[in-house]
Amino acid sequence: MIRLTEVVKEYPRSGVALAHVSFAVRKGEFVYLTGPSGSGKSTILRLLYMDEKPTAGEVWINGVSSKSARGREISKLRRRIGIVFQDFRLLEDRTAEANVRFALEVTGAPKATIRSKVARVLTQVGLASKATSFPRELSGGEQQRVAIARALINDPFVLIADEPTGNLDERATRGVFQLLRDINASGTAVIMATHDLDLVRRSNYRTIELNHGRVVFDSAESPASARPFDEPFDIQETPTGPSESI
């Protein structure tokens, strides 16, 4: 469903962001992307929703290749991908309901189905009673739920979340995380970039760890116990190859 093959991403100014990254994500899988800041997590996510193209290698997602995808095809692809960010990215001048509806309207969805679909996803994220609230009237956790509702509105096959709990307190984090688990349980794959080691440790999902643009650990390829989570990511200064981590 999602496959990265020998993906390299270089930026003209900051240099190599990803170096020969390869992994695949199966249908309905839950994957954590972890690693220190600047290790390439967000770059991978941007490559997945094709905001950027790899410098070398190839990204396959839902039958679309990064080598051939163009404007319209990318737009169509994004309608099948839900994207959530740390900073929610809601439109401040619209209600929760209007923010969710917006995602359907701008993709030219038929008007008749919009109302019921919006009501359904708002209920799914537990915000049916706050449909008419503006983002500033909602807590951080609630705002992130609106963003998740917006991401779910087009029935995505995968939800891509970039530090979705980064701005939330512990309680809200737990709530949002539980919501993502529920979404995953209903068959949607989730790829979540996170710093939150507690979260990663507590759940038994596949974890891919990046450092300096390389995959240094992938729990799908090694026993779950092999990677001790006792050292904080931030101290790892030198790039390490996959063989060293295992």
Partner 1 sequence: MRSAQEALTASRRAPLLSALGVLTIAFSLFAFGLFGLVAINIRRALEQVSERVEVRAFLSDSADIEQVAAAMKDIGEFPEVLRVDYVSQENALERARKEMGEFADVFEAGVLPASIEVHLRPGMRSPTIVKSVADRIKTYHFIDDVRYGEEWVEKLYRLRNIATVAGIALGVAFAAVAVIIIGATIRMMVLARAKEISIMRLVGATDMFIRLPFLIDGLVKGVLGGLVALLLVWITNRVVNQYFIETIFFNRELIFLGIVGGAAMGMFGSLVSVGRHLRRV
| Residue 11 sits in the site that holds partner 1 (CB under 8 A) | no
148 binds partner 1 (CB under 8 A): no
Q: Judged by CB under 8 A, does residue 157 bind partner 1?
A: no
What is the smallest separation between the CB atom of 213 and partner 1, expressed in angstroms? 21
Give the DSSP per-residue string, the chain: -EEEEEEEEEETTTEEEEEEEEEEE-TT-EEEEE-STTSSHHHHHHHHTTSS--SEEEEEETTEETTT--HHHHHHHHTTEEEEETT----TTS-HHHHHHHHHHTTT--HHHHHHHHHHHHHHTT-GGGTT--GGGS-HHHHHHHHHHHHHTT--SEEEEESTTTTS-HHHHHHHHHHHHHHHHTT-EEEEE---HHHHHHS--EEEEEETTEEEEETTTS-GGGS-TTS-GGG--S---HHHH-
Q: Which of 37, 55, 65, 107 binds partner 1 (CB under 8 A)?
A: 107
Minimum CB distance to partner 1, residue 103 (Å) = 4
Q: Which region among 9-17, 26-34, 83-91, 232-240 touches partner 1 (by CB under 8 A)? A: 83-91
Residue from 1, 8, 16, 77 binding partner 1 (CB under 8 A): 77
Cα distances from 4 to residues 96, 147, 156, in angstroms, run 35, 27, 19
Please identify which residue in 3, 53, 79, 206 interacts with partner 1, judged by CB under 8 A: 79
Separation of alpha carbons 46 and 92, rounded Å: 24
Residue 55 binds partner 1, judged by CB under 8 A: no
Q: Which of 12, 15, 63, 71 binds partner 1 (CB under 8 A)?
A: 71
161: contact with partner 1 by CB under 8 A: no
Closest contact distance (angstroms) between CB of 88 and partner 1 is: 10
By CB under 8 A, tell whether 154 contacts partner 1: yes
**Can you tell me which of 41, 145, 150, 212 binds partner 1, judged by CB under 8 A?**
150
Q: Does 106 bind partner 1 (CB under 8 A)?
A: yes
- Binding to partner 1 by residue 91, rule CB under 8 A? yes
Q: Describe the crossing of helices 140-152 and 111-124 by its angle, rounded to 10 degrees.
A: 140
CB burial of residue 171 (10 Å; 0-12, 13-18, 19+): exposed
- Minimal distance, residue 143 CB to partner 1, in Å: 14
Shortest CB 77 distance to partner 1, Å: 7
- 51 lies in the binding site for partner 1 (CB under 8 A): yes
Residues that bind partner 1 (CB under 8 A): 46, 49, 51, 71-72, 75-81, 83, 89, 91, 93, 102-103, 105-108, 150, 154
